[in-house]
Amino acid sequence: MTTDPFQGPSHRDGTSSQQDVPQRGLPQDTAAEQAVLGALMLSVRAIEEVDAILGDPADFYLPHHETIYRAVLDMYAASSSTPRIDPITLAAELQRRGDLARVGGPAYLHSLVNTVPTTGHAAHYAEIVRERAALRRVIEAGTRMVQLAHAGTEEAGQVVEEAMAELQAAASGTSTAEPLLSVADRWAGFLDQLDAGADPEALDTPWADLNEYVELKPGQLVTVGATTAGGKSLFGMNLAAHVALRRERPVLVASMEMGGGELMARLTAAEAGVPLDRLIRRRTTEDDWNRIAQVGDRLANAHNFVLDDSANLTLSKIRARMRWMASRDHAPALVVADYLQLLTPERTRAGNRAQEVAEISRGLKLIAMEFRTPIVALAQFNRGAVGRRPLVSDFKESSAIEQDSNIIILLHRELAEDGTDTGPKAGAVEAIVAKNRNGASGRIVDLAFQGHFARLASMAR
């Protein structure tokens, strides 16, 4: 195997982010890196295979190997026909860049070619390089987290949050730094999306009339508000079931309002058409069991539908649940939080509940954008909204909800003081599209309130 003239202690392990790593050396495989680079100078197919495996030229441990690899990729990208990349043409390119001497000169490039047993194993060598790079990122992330924890400048929840993000990025072979894309970079992709018609990432709701005005898109925060017993939990659970069971997309329901047993009873009532009170009191009839059996297979196989009723849910915990689902190939296509004001703030603000709720609202929006997932946050109105059609200003404890939300839907039932339906719309819930950042607002859709079956239904036409 070629002796690397640059092998020594003064490489990537000299960076400040790794200063606390035990002196046992970072994971790396010089022989695999040399074999990869040698194969690239022998086979165009090897370039294509390796490029598909290595997500970042920095996956090479030795800096001069990274320099050589970047030059190869640039030569390949610049070629209008079959690229001619060999030790001689690569040396000329590195000389033009002023890097030839720094990487060891022409002799080192020729020696790399001689290290390759067969170009057919280039992908295998690249896998080794990528694996060692991932292990180094794990060590770097761990070191940074140790330093943060010792510094004591951030709260424990935030340190855990950052650690999980770093480790997830390390495991996927990506960086937490996102690339900057210009309008030119985005233009062709935008035209392709426009030409494709319907957005494949957009989610519909179970209510056809509402779909005329609203669709849920990645990165959106959708807030659904109501008074107590106004139907917001039914809305959230019905929507979640629709996306998970009918559209077969992964869904996370984070419930601070109800426990798992009640959530399951409501889901079963809505899906099977069995009265909710009989499920809650466990007084089911033979006909109820027959109905339950008809939906049994669907619910028994709903591994993509996650109900989290953990106590004291925070934004960090919601992020953790989403990453947990993603690690099991069920990255959430929708998150429902029931309800916003019950989320536990990461830090308490003595005497300033409005600021706490504002931070939670903004945090949900940031999570939606980070994961490119629509988040539906159910929210409570203050008592002033009882007995009249609600306004966006009626959200309890914070006006920030209006600012952070892409879409706001206000639910309204005309209820008497004893809780019974009154007025000309008895048995109905108005879904008022009060804010719609990219669509029509001010529209009102009537939904049928079927509380005994724990569902909201489209009105019969």
Chain-centroid distance of CA 305 in Å reads 16
Amino acid at 58: A
Helix 30-40 and helix 44-53: axis angle, to 10°? 130
pLDDT tens for each residue of 291-332:
999 998 899 999 999 998 887 788 888 888 888 888 788 889
CATH 3.40.50.300 in the chain: give the residue spans: 208-458
Structure token pair of residue 122: 């280039």
pLDDT tens for each residue of 122-160:
889 999 999 898 888 888 878 877 877 777 776 666 667
Which CATH fold topology does 208-458 show? Answer: Rossmann fold (3.40.50)
CATH 1.10.860.10: does it fit domain 12-172? yes
Structure token pair of residue 169: 């990025």
Three-class secondary structure of residue 56 per DSSP = coil
Amino acid at 175: S
Query: Among candidates 209, 222, 233, 232, which has minimal Cα distance to 390?
Result: 232
Question: How confident is the model at residue 357, as a pLDDT?
Answer: 83
Average pLDDT across the chain, whole number = 83
Chain-centroid distance of CA 229 in Å reads 31
Residue 67 has pLDDT above 90, yes or no: yes
Please give the average per-residue pLDDT across 197-205, as a whole number.
83
Q: Tell me the pLDDT band of 175, cut-offs 50, 70 and 90.
A: very low
Percent of the chain at pLDDT > 70 equals: 83
| Widest CA span in the chain | 90
Residue 224 has pLDDT above 50, yes or no: yes
Q: Tell me the pLDDT band of 60, cut-offs 50, 70 and 90.
A: very high
User: Per the omega criterion (within 30 degrees of 0), is the bond before 339 cis?
Assistant: yes
> What number of H helices and E strands is found in the chain?
16, 9
Higher pLDDT, residue 349 or 188: 188
